[in-house]
Amino acid sequence: MEEQPVTGDPLVDGGFETLCAHYGEHRLAHGGATAPPLYQTSNFVYPDAEAFERRLLPQSPYYDYTRVGNPTTAMLEAKLALLEHGHWARGLASGMGAITAAINANVESGTHVVAVANCYPPTREYLEQYLQRFGVTTTFVRGTNPADLLAALRDNTRVLYLESPTFGLNEIIELAPLTAAARQRGIVTIFDNSWATPYFQQPLDAGCDLIVHSATKYIGGHSDVVAGMVVGRDEDLHRRVRREAELHGATLDPFAAWLLLRGLRTLALRMEQHQRSGLAIASMLAAHPKVRQVNHPALESHPNHAVAQRQLRGYGSLFSFALHEQSREATHRVLNRLRVFRIAVSWGGYESLATGGTFFDRDPDRPTWLLRLFVGLETIDDLLHDLRQALED
């Protein structure tokens, strides 16, 4: 089957919601289907031996094998690339598949990475333990001061790995001063944009080189798919990320791509509602006598609120809070009383979730007990009531 060109689509300039609805779907090339066809196939036939012989040339117009490329996945990749203000995107089997492909594409034995200390814990484990086996070392920097991150760069640093808001405390990292300095030194900046999605921020515009997503979260939006994406502008980075994906085999399944295309159609609507409900709950908690601290960057009390207001157009609904009573018992009591919020990992779907545990960042000798909330799409009054009753004596 011939690859569909992504250029020439009439809807390159629409607003975010219009692009989510229509861009890159080439309906008339697919019998006019309004829902994109699912090419659930492992391989593709060639018209003749000459076309087969030319299949590995970059200009070959044919799909070959789904680990390398698939028409359903290509529609998703074209759409997400545009939404993130990138030139290309690559679908992977999970967020971790995307993160490891983006990092691997830029390191080799003897090179060094600088990373934000409170990144998603498996990302940290990958950098700290796994890559060490292959001679790649990482310096983790706590806090949000750009000068601290820049001070950790070395001559052999190849990657600056950022996630904002950070895991747990939802700290916001100011991008512009970091990305400019990294680029000057030939260092690739990788940014995990799962929390904000391109609806609230497009970090390529702030000078990042590669965006990674756990598309399992808001992009999928329905807790029924595990997926990842890498987005960028530079063609050489594209070639290298593709190579990682193809050789490690963490390719996105076409059905997962189809579900993500469906998820994207309502991304803007969902993000508006997540933001509204998240803010209502964060504000209620901030005024609650049992609550010591709410780590939501939209609140004026958040230490990085000013940077957040400058850098983000809006806010995701994953955040944490600390009770005055710092203990396992108090944390578990609240969690066990919740009825609408359910106890589970992950986030970004339709359903509200809660977890709790210790968090060591500020003072390793005095861990903070935090409750992490993901605010879903249920009726806001039900969510407020659920938390209020869980916090009662």
Closer of 37 and 314 to ligand PLP (Cβ): 314
- End-to-end alpha-carbon separation of the chain, Å? 65
Q: How far is the CB of 80 from ligand PLP (least distance, A)?
A: 15
Please give the Cα distance from 336 to 121 (Å, whole number). Answer: 25
Q: How far is the CB of 216 from ligand PLP (least distance, A)?
A: 4
Q: How far is the CB of 64 from ligand PLP (least distance, A)?
A: 26
| Distances from the Cα of 357 to the Cα of 216, 279, 294, angstroms | 23, 22, 15
Residues at the site binding ligand PLP, with contacts judged by CB under 6 A: 94-96, 120, 192, 194, 214, 216, 226, 228, 346
Q: How far is the CB of 195 from ligand PLP (least distance, A)?
A: 6
Closer of 215 and 322 to ligand PLP (Cβ): 215
Residue appearing with tokens 């074209």: 78
- Are the CB atoms for 241 and 212 separated by under 8 Å? no
Which phi and psi angles does 58 have, rounded to 5°?
-60, -30
Closer of 102 and 181 to ligand PLP (Cβ): 102
Q: Residue 319 class from Cβ within 10 Å (0-12 exposed, 13-18 middle, 19+ buried)?
A: buried
Q: How far is the CB of 76 from ligand PLP (least distance, A)?
A: 15
Please give the Cα distance from 347 to 12 (Å, whole number). Answer: 31
Please give the Cα distance from 173 to 196 (Å, whole number). Answer: 13
Q: How far is the CB of 319 from ligand PLP (least distance, A)?
A: 13
Closer of 6 and 270 to ligand PLP (Cβ): 270
Q: Residue 393 class from Cβ within 10 Å (0-12 exposed, 13-18 middle, 19+ buried)?
A: exposed
Please give the Cα distance from 71 to 65 (Å, whole number). Answer: 11
Buried b / exposed e over 191-207, threshold 16 CB at 10 Å, is bbbbbbbbbbbbbbebb
Closer of 110 and 249 to ligand PLP (Cβ): 249
Closer of 83 and 260 to ligand PLP (Cβ): 260
Closer of 44 and 321 to ligand PLP (Cβ): 321
Closer of 1 and 344 to ligand PLP (Cβ): 344
β-strands 157-163, 112-116 pairing:
parallel
Please give the Cα distance from 92 to 253 (Å, whole number). Answer: 8
Q: How far is the CB of 388 from ligand PLP (least distance, A)?
A: 27
Q: How far is the CB of 361 from ligand PLP (least distance, A)?
A: 16
- Are the CB atoms for 196 and 312 separated by under 8 Å? yes
Which phi and psi angles does 128 have, rounded to 5°?
-75, -40
Q: How far is the CB of 213 from ligand PLP (least distance, A)?
A: 8
Closer of 6 and 259 to ligand PLP (Cβ): 259
Q: Residue 261 class from Cβ within 10 Å (0-12 exposed, 13-18 middle, 19+ buried)?
A: buried
Tell me which residue has its CB nearest to ligand PLP: 95
Please give the Cα distance from 239 to 241 (Å, whole number). Answer: 6
Q: How far is the CB of 232 from ligand PLP (least distance, A)?
A: 17
Closer of 192 and 253 to ligand PLP (Cβ): 192
